[in-house]
Structure 1
Amino acid sequence: MTGRNIDPLSLDETIDEGKEEKDVEKRRASVWEHQELAQIPIKVLRGHTDAVTGCHFCFDDTKVLTSSQDKTAALWDTESGAALLVFERGHLSNISECALIPDKKRLITASWDKTLNAWDLETGKIIWTAAQADHHKSTITRCRFDPQSQHVASVSEDRTIKLWDLVSTQTTLSINR
């Protein structure tokens, strides 16, 4: 055995030590010449006019929910690639995150405008907006529902975490750092 280094990621399963380097290169090139490259089918969903900030599969992976810096969120059909519903005119600034309530009837969007909106998935209308007195003082970066679909948590660049009651639309817990 020689002190020759063998690349463990090489396409060559073994390197015959008796062959010249030229033969190894020839064999390596022939593997690539005849091997078809794997193709992964993709669909491009077009509709947002600015950067997409969030993306979630939902409804048994038949839909995709996205949020964008264009101040909108959208629900897409994964088969056709069509936007089924666009949630717009609810925020004054970029939407940083979107989350689908587990019962799949509501959507929450968090924004750089320091607001949190709850949307009806059937009508596309806003159900409620976080109360002015309970707003974060900076960009809301993330939002998530609890497993029982009773509360939504929001986190902000102001270093606070707020827990919102979905029925009363009030903050039930605020954690300040």
Structure 2
Amino acid sequence: MELATLTGHSDDVNAVAITPDGKRAVSASSDETLKLWDLETGTELTTFTGRSKTVRAVAITPDGKRAVSASSDETLKLWDLQTGRELTTLRGHSAWVNAVAITPDGKRAVSAS
């Protein structure tokens, strides 16, 4: 049974991550954005911009305060979920970054390209 449909992206949604408390979700899209959603109300809370290509993956830190996105622009970006600000850009890949995971202590991200 479908509980809700979250609409707001203008292109394909490629990945979704849920905060540890189960109250919010972050979606990654080919429209070059991430969106933060309130899962209790279905409301879009924030749109994260600053990507220059498709956002392929997203992971949320264990404390639920930050997210890391992976993109076709060969980078990872760290975002503050409370303020919507980009905190840093991580470079090192020479092709699309297709996946990202965060270690259980929240101190490192592992990416695949």
Which category describes the TM-score, using the shorter chain as reference length? over 0.9
User: Which range is displaced more, 62-71 or 93-102?
Assistant: 62-71
TM-align CA RMSD: 1.2
For residue 106 of structure 1, report the CA deviation from its aligned partner. 1.0
- Which of 69, 72, 84 pairs up with 2:30? 69
Count of aligned pairs: 113
**In the aligned structure 1, how far is the partner of 2:108 from the partner of 2:20?**
21
Would you tell me which structure has more helix in proportion to its own residues?
Answer: 1
Please identify runs of 4+ aligned residues in structure 1 that moved more than 2 A: none
8 Å Cα contact 1:115/1:129 also seen in 2: yes
The TM-score normalised by the length of structure 1 is 0.61
**In the aligned structure 2, how far is the partner of 1:82 from the partner of 1:41?**
16
Give CA-to-partner distance per residue, 1:4-23, whole Å, 9 cap, x none: xxxxxxxxxxxxxxxxxxxx
1:147 aligns with 2:104: yes
**In the aligned structure 2, how far is the partner of 1:41 from the partner of 1:139?**
33
Aligned sequence identity (%): 33
The TM-score normalised by the length of structure 2 is 0.93
CA radius of gyration, larger in: 1
For residue 59 of structure 1, report the CA deviation from its aligned partner. 4.2
Please name the residue that 2:80 is paired with: 120
Pairing 1:74-93 to 2, within 5 Å after superposition:
74-88=35-49, 90-93=50-53
8 Å Cα contact 1:64/1:75 also seen in 2: yes
Q: Could you list the runs of 5+ residues in structure 1 that have no partner in the other structure?
A: 1-39, 157-177
**In the aligned structure 1, how far is the partner of 2:8 from the partner of 2:32?**
12
- Which of 34, 41, 55 pairs up with 1:95? 55
- Closer/same/farther in 2, CA of residues 102 and 59 from structure 1, 3 Å limit: closer
1:51 aligns with 2:8: no
Would you tell me which structure has more strand in proportion to its own residues?
Answer: 2
Q: Could you list the runs of 5+ residues in structure 2 that have no partner in the other structure?
A: none
